[in-house]
A and B are shown apart, each in its own frame.
Chain A
Amino acid sequence: MQQSACTLKNVKKVFGSIVANNNVNLDIRRGEILSLLGENGSGKTTLMNILSGIYFPDEGEIFVNGEQVTIRSPKDAFDLGIGMIHQHFKLVDVFTAAENVVLGLEEKTRFDLKKVAAKIGEICDKYGFHVDPYQKVYNMSVSEKQTLEIVKVLYRGADILILDEPTAVLTPQETEKLFSVIRNMKKHGKAVVIITHKLHEVLSVSDRVAILRKGEYIGTVNTAEATELSLTEMMVGKKVELNIDRPLPVNPQKRISVSGLNCKNSEGLPVLTDVSFDAFGGEILGIAGISGCGQKELLEAIAGLQPCEEGSKIEFIAPEDETPVSLLGLSPKRISQLGVSLSFVPEDRLGMGLVGSMGMTENMMLKDYSVGHSIFTHTKEPHDLAERIREELGVVTPGLSTPVRKLSGGNVQKVLVGREIAAAPKVLMTAYAVRGLDINTSYTIYHLLNEQKAKGVAVIYVGEDLDVLLALCDRILVLAQGKVTGIVDARKTTKEEVGLLMTGKGGDK
């Protein structure tokens, strides 16, 4: 058996009223890759943030190399040889790679970036990757930034490495490269922890798997003895067949037609290239893709929040009326004034879909506060609507005027989805509608979407979980690097096919 590098005993962490980690026990060993598996919101990241000194545990003990330790700050963690690669990179944009690497180090030698660059070169050679030490971070791609993060941790001589969802932003090729680097580290006797919720990755790279569910520690198993099914059961608690209803579309009619859509981001780089598709009323169109491949921009372009290049076409076809209405270049207000009822549940719920400091009532009028000629806002209708949503969707809140920021993630999403559906839309777009929600709330959301589908609404569902996409949607559009690589029938396709399309390779065949 390998030597134990780090042990957590009965760790507990509470945020306000939410228990993020409860009674967690974990054993991290040298020369081994440990997967920390759990759904979104199961407390994986919180747990590792405790280990890397970002959070301080409310209860529990931590041992490193057999000695009990207190980790008060990231610096303590570094001194103990613990290095974490965060999902949201902790890099200073205006610094060069080398500057980021030496950041915070208290070396006794003279400050010399040339030497740093040389040492970075050595590390890169040893594990087989490439970093330009003089490149500014703001000029780097996502995978370059991640490589830099890994170099940063290795430079500090960390021998316990924690990677938080490292593959979320990578293509399969980049992922494979990363895994080979990780295996290399294992060979060099490092202890590696990978936080993930992707089962196939767990099975392909790790030696053991520790599972968390809703903050509770479920157990650790050897990967060799585990199967996707057994892991899923541990992860979700009971065996959950993704038993999502999928009625056949009734009388699908073209509702949204997009063709030749091109968009650029604020830096002038293309984020959507020549996107064309139709969405039909009465069906759910799924959009799959690695995160950051243009999903957000696509929905925002339709909603009138993202400027598009000339020549792009976005049209809405009303159910009764055959003449298409062009939505291109219109503001959200203008779109609704044209009578186009378009609902949008954005990814960033509190930063875009809702106003965190306002209560439910005030949030209800966010999109239609300006209706009518009075200079004053309405008070009765939003209040009634809030009351209705609270009852129908079972929103748990101390009061309708409690700032929605203080509600739990699931309740926040219920408020947002509830409001968007209440607008009786013809088109409903959702981005990562179930991210961070528990199973029950997720099913509530699926059910609501199906209801809308039955009413003849064109539903566009951007998701990250392929299983859900395959079970819920009628058709799936796959985006890779801002391009449509395929539109497939969700009833006939396979996970592998969609996965391949997501890499941008599938279209070649």
Chain B
Amino acid sequence: MASPNREPLVRLVKRSSIPLWQSILVRVAAIILSLLFSAVIITLITKLDPVKVFTSMYNGAFGLELRTWNTIRDMMLLLCIAVGLAPAFKMKFWNIGAEGQILVGGIVSAACMISIGDKLPTALLLIVMALISAVAGAIWGLIPAIFKAKWNTNETLFTLMMNYVAIQLTSFMVDVWDKKGSHSVGVINQTTRTGWFPPIAEKQYLLNVIIVLALTVIMFIYLKKTKQGYEIAVVGESENTARYAGISVKKVILRTMLISGAICGIAGFIEVAGVSHTISVNTAGGRGFTAIIVAWLAKFNTFTMILISLLLVFLDKGAVQIATDFGLNEYASEMVTGIILFFILGSEFFINYKLIFRHSNKGGKA
């Protein structure tokens, strides 16, 4: 039995609101703490000077113009997927299936490059590729959405399974296209470069940047300013309210997943036509999952996503650089990314709740 008059050491109270500067402070503190923590881990494991390690990380991401562009390229890819996921997540539709939607978009892009690459002018070809990859991604996103809308089938698990169907489909297509029996397609149209993104102002990845930033801006406006965006927000908050407002929940679910899947499909197109120029089961490379975290942490604000994508890609590039500089293993990046995300996720708690310690009065402490 509890001894008398002892309240628990710490109690939780939900915050009603928090000033903006405080919530930013909490997040920045979380990132700094996580970097320190990662530094300690790296030092303990490798006995290297953490400052040197972080310098090397910076070099890896921005050290050379080429590296900076590679960082931007990867960041745009991640951002594009996160932008695609934003409407679905705002609607509280757990689209874990970006991975699959990217792959099917990539497959049809590759198919275009292989089959009709030499029959169309570049601009037209790229437009056709973008369109049909959007359609492919949209279909992949629509299938779980239809079942969600009609029978309330769990979309988290459904979209997750769709990823693996897409992976096997990719593997199948790779076999079909593979002429050498090496279970890979190799660089498509290596000599003719048809279906590749053309360099703009001699910058190879500028087109990627233009497309993705355009999507980012459009999505921001779509979610904040349009009627459809308003509908998404209402459905995400409460289906009952949506029904009350005369919004057809089913229609919104289908339409939103169509858009979400289509943008993820376009991400697949950018990856295949604008980055790797090949297709394999690793084309999505886990970005579909990472982008979920980006979208979630950004609270569906597409501009915040730019910063978070940058942070994650910076970590990734940096870790690869550490690996080469210090003879480590490149998987260190995933480890560090994991640690940092854990910290950021945990920090949300201090934004939503406050702790009240025994004997301290109402003010509490964050």
Contact of A341 with B by CB under 8 A: no
Contact yes or no, B245 A367, CB < 8 A:
yes
Task: Report B1-42 residues with CB < 8 Å from chain A CB.
Answer: 1-8, 11, 14, 16-17
* Whole-angstrom CA separation of A58 from B364 in the bound complex: 12
Which residues of chain B are near A222, meaning CB under 8 Å? none
Asked if A344 lies at the interface with its beta carbon under 8 angstroms from chain B, I say yes
Q: What is the CA–CA distance of A67 and B86 in the complex, to the nearest angstrom?
A: 56
SS class, residues of chain A in contact with chain B: loop
Complex interface bits, A349-362 against B, C-beta within 8 A gives 1, otherwise 0: 01111111110001
Least CB distance, B115 to chain A, in whole angstroms: 36
- Is A72 interfacial (CB 8 A cutoff)? yes
CB distance from B262 to the nearest CB of A (A): 17
CB of B3 within 8 A of CB of A356, answer no
In the complex, B230 has a CB within 8 A of chain A: yes
B residues near A68, Cβ cutoff 8 Å: 4-5
Per-residue A-contact encoding for B252-288, CB less than 8 Å = 1, 0 else? 0000000000000000000000000000000000000
Q: Is A257 an interface residue (CB 8 A)?
A: no
Q: How many residues of B contact A (CB 8 A)?
A: 31
In the complex, identify which listed stretch (B59-67, B220-228, B327-335, B336-344) lies at the interface while the others stay far away.
B220-228
Residue ID in chain A nearest B5 by CB atoms: A68
Is B153 close to A, CB under 8 A?
Answer: no
Tell me the complex Cα distance, A352–B243, Å.
8
A206 to chain B, nearest CB (A): 30
Name the distance in Å between A53's Cβ and chain B's nearest Cβ.
Answer: 11
A129 at the interface (CB under 8 A from B): no
The answer to whether B237 touches A375, judged by C-beta atoms less than 8 angstroms apart, is: no
Query: What's the A-B contact tally at a CB cutoff of 8 Å?
Result: 95
Which residues of chain A come closer than 8 Å to B352, judged between CB atoms? none
Interface: B156 (CB within 8 A): no
Q: How far is the CB of B196 from chain A (nearest CB, A)?
A: 34
How does the 8 Å CB contact mask read for A361-388 relative to B, with 1 for contact and 0 for none?
A: 0100111011000111100000000000
What sequence of 0s and 1s flags, for each residue 347-361 of chain B, a beta carbon within 8 Å of any chain A beta carbon? 000000000000000
Q: How large is the interface on A (under 10, 10 to 19, 20 to 34, 35 or more residues)?
A: 35 or more
User: How distant is A377 from chain B, measured CB to nearest CB, in Å?
Assistant: 5
Selected contact of B240 from candidates A17, A70, A72, A352, CB within 8 Å: A352
Is B248 within 8 A of A70, CB to CB? no
* B244 at interface by CB-CB < 8 Å: yes
Q: Chain A residues near B2: list those with CB within 8 A.
A: 69-72, 76
Contact B7 A70 (CB under 8 A): yes
Quick check: B11 and A332 within 8 Å, CB to CB? no
Check A344–B244 contact: CB distance below 8 A.
Answer: yes
Q: Is the CB of B226 within 8 A of A355?
A: no
| Contact yes or no, A369 B227, CB < 8 A | yes
Inter-subunit contact A351/B228 (CB<8 Å): no
Minimum C-beta distance from B227 to chain A (A): 5
Choose one: B6, B241, B248; the contact of A366 (CB below 8 Å).
Answer: B241
- Does A79 interact with chain B (Cβ within 8 Å)? yes
In this complex, what residue of A is CB-closest to B4? A68
Chain A residues 397-416 with CB under 8 Å of chain B are 406
Nearest to A14 among chain B residues (CB) is B362
B237–A377 contact, CB under 8 A? no
Task: Name the distance in Å between B365's Cβ and chain A's nearest Cβ.
Answer: 16
A61 interfacial contact with B, CB 8 Å: yes
Chain B nearest Cβ from A4, distance in angstroms: 17
- A selection of 23 A-B contacts at a CB cut-off of 8 Å is A16-B16, A17-B16, A58-B362, A61-B5, A67-B4, A68-B4, A69-B4, A70-B3, A71-B2, A72-B7, A305-B243, A333-B246, A351-B241, A352-B238, A355-B234, A355-B237, A355-B238, A356-B238, A362-B230, A366-B234, A366-B244, A366-B245, A406-B16
Q: Which 3 A-B pairs have the closest CB atoms?
A: A333-B246, A332-B246, A68-B4
